[in-house]
C-alpha cells in the first residue's frame, strides 16, 4: 500500500500544496497592511475660557466657538469670520413646591403693600383738603347757655 507509486505521488502533491499555502500565508503576513489616513477638519466644539473680549478677539477659531468668563457670567460666541456676540448668563435654579409657594406668598404681600400705599395716598389726598367747620346741632360743647344757667 505504501509502496504504491500512485499513492506516494498523491501524498507528495498534497504536501507540496500545503507548503505553497503556508508560504503564501507567510508572505501576506510580512507585507504591511496599507495605511489609510483621513484628515477631517471639523469645527471646534470645545469650551474655551477667556478673561476679556480682547482675549476672544485674539484667538483664532475654525467655526462657531463659545468662550466663557471664569465666573460663567458672560458668554462670547466667536464665528469663523471673526464676529463676536456677547451674552449674559444667569443661573436658573430649579424650584420645588415650597419655593413656588413662598414666591406666591411674597407676591401677595407685595400686592397688599401696594394696595395699602395707594389707600394711604388717597387718604392723604383727603387730608390735604381744607376742613370746613360746621357746628353740629346734635352735639353739645359742654357749656350751658346763659338762659340755661339761670
Q: Residue 69's CB: how many other CB atoms inside 10 A?
A: 17
Q: Starting from the edge strand earliest in sequence, which strands make up the sheet with 65-68, in order? A: 48-49, 65-68, 74-78, 84-88
Q: Is the pLDDT of residue 84 over 90?
A: yes
In a domain, 132, yes or no: no
In a domain, 38, yes or no: no
Instruction: Extract the C-alpha cell encoding 5.
Output: 507509486
Please indicate, yes or no, whether residues 103 and 123 belong to a single structural domain of this protein.
Answer: yes
Instruction: Extract the C-alpha cell encoding 56.
Output: 476672544
- Choosing from 65, 88, 111, the residue where a domain stops is 88
Q: In a 3-state reduction of DSSP, which class is residue 75?
A: strand
Number of domains in the chain: 2
- 41's CB contacts (< 8 A; 6+ apart) are 62
Please indicate, yes or no, whether residues 101 and 79 belong to a single structural domain of this protein.
Answer: no
In a domain, 118, yes or no: yes
In a domain, 142, yes or no: no
| Confidence at 124, pLDDT banded by 50, 70, 90 | low
In a domain, 103, yes or no: yes
| Confidence at 117, pLDDT banded by 50, 70, 90 | confident
- Point out which residues pair with 84 in neighbouring strands: 78
In a domain, 30, yes or no: no
- Cα distance between residue 74 and residue 49, in whole Å: 10
Domain extent, residue 114, equals: 93-127
| Distance of alpha carbon 46 from the chain centroid | 15
In a domain, 114, yes or no: yes
In a domain, 140, yes or no: no
Percent of the chain with pLDDT over 70: 74
Q: Is the pLDDT of residue 106 over 70?
A: yes
Shortest CA distance to 70 belongs to which of 48, 86, 90, 85? Answer: 48
pTM, two decimal places: 0.39
- Cα distance between residue 104 and residue 102, in whole Å: 5
Amino acid at each position: 500500500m505504501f509502496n504504491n507509486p500512485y499513492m506516494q505521488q498523491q501524498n507528495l502533491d498534497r504536501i507540496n500544496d500545503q507548503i505553497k499555502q503556508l508560504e503564501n500565508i507567510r508572505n501576506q503576513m510580512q507585507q504591511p497592511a496599507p495605511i489609510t489616513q483621513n484628515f477631517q477638519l471639523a469645527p471646534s466644539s470645545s469650551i474655551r475660557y477667556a478673561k476679556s473680549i480682547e482675549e476672544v478677539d485674539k484667538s483664532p477659531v475654525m467655526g462657531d466657538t463659545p468662550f466663557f468668563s471664569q465666573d460663567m457670567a458672560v458668554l462670547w460666541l466667536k464665528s469663523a469670520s471673526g464676529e463676536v456676540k456677547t451674552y449674559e448668563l444667569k443661573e436658573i435654579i430649579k424650584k420645588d413646591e415650597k419655593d413656588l409657594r413662598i414666591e406666591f406668598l411674597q407676591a401677595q404681600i407685595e400686592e397688599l403693600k401696594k394696595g395699602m400705599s395707594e389707600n394711604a395716598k388717597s387718604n392723604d389726598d383727603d387730608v390735604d383738603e381744607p376742613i370746613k367747620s360746621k357746628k353740629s346741632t346734635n352735639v353739645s360743647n359742654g357749656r350751658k347757655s346763659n338762659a340755661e344757667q339761670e
